[in-house]
Amino acid sequence: VLAPVRNEHGPAAAFMKANGMTGVLIDRVLSDDAFDTVSADSAAASAEVARMLIGNGHSHILVIGLAEQAATVRARLEGFRSQALVLNPSVRIDVITSEVTVEPLRASLRDYFASGERPTAVYSLLLKGTLVALSEFRRRGWHCPNDISLVGFDDAEWMQVTWPAIAAVVQPVHQIASQAMNLLFRRVEGAVGPPTARLEPCQVLMRESVGSPGSGPHSGGGDRQ
């Protein structure tokens, strides 16, 4: 079992193919022409986030993440954007992505807010991005959800116990692991046929970090748009 897979064309997957190995790819790849794959249904989860944010009245949303090399990152972005535009064709969606480290993302986010941009919600496509966003909010004296709402893809214990608790997309880790092992053992036992691509549903938890624009007293920091 190869996890995580950086993208569909990563060196580890290529090595396995070149050496005729039996394997299952999980986490950051949605399908493959040689191996079975198991991943979270990133597009559907992000579409649910879009429904919840648009339903709460957000019309200017910032999406942040690292470079869009991984298929799952692309699926998260497109799943969110397409659903948001269906629900509100006039919604403004800004996107900030950077390379594989968080420092360029932190700098880009800082410059974005310094330019006067003020979305009412931020959706982070990865856990580190959620930390970067929350850090920048606190540096500016902004509080969720009165000043800005925040949702992160992937969950962590600190997101549950901090105040306010951070809304999150919870990935089905146990289901992914179970399906991956089932597929692998089937192949080891001689199962043939084209590669199987499984997508496991996520759970979206809208916690205290999400509210409606203008629903509470602001902490300052510029006009909201």
Structural domains in the chain, sorted by start:
11-40+172-201 (no CATH), 42-170 (3.40.50.2300)
What distance in Å separates the CA atoms of residue 176 and residue 62, rounded to the nearest whole number?
29
Average pLDDT score over the chain: 87
Cα separation, 71 vs 162, in Å, equals 31
Rounded distance between C-alpha atoms, residue 207 and residue 205, angstroms: 6
pTM of the full structure: 0.85
Distances (CA, A) of 14 to 40, 100, 134, 180, 184: 22, 21, 37, 19, 18
Q: Over the stretch 84-131, which tens digit does the pLDDT of each residue have?
A: 999 999 999 999 998 767 899 999 999 999 999 999 999 999 999 999
Which CA distances in Å does 29 have to 10, 36, 89, 193?
A: 10, 10, 30, 19
Q: Among 11-20, 43-52, 185-194, which is the least confidently predicted range?
A: 11-20
Question: Quick count: other Cβ atoms within 10 Å of Cβ 67?
Answer: 14
* 175 vs 98: which has the higher pLDDT: 175
CA distances from 179 to 10, 46, 105, 136 (A): 22, 22, 34, 38
Amino acid at 22: T
pLDDT in tens, 3-41: 665 555 666 666 766 767 777 888 766 666 678 888 899
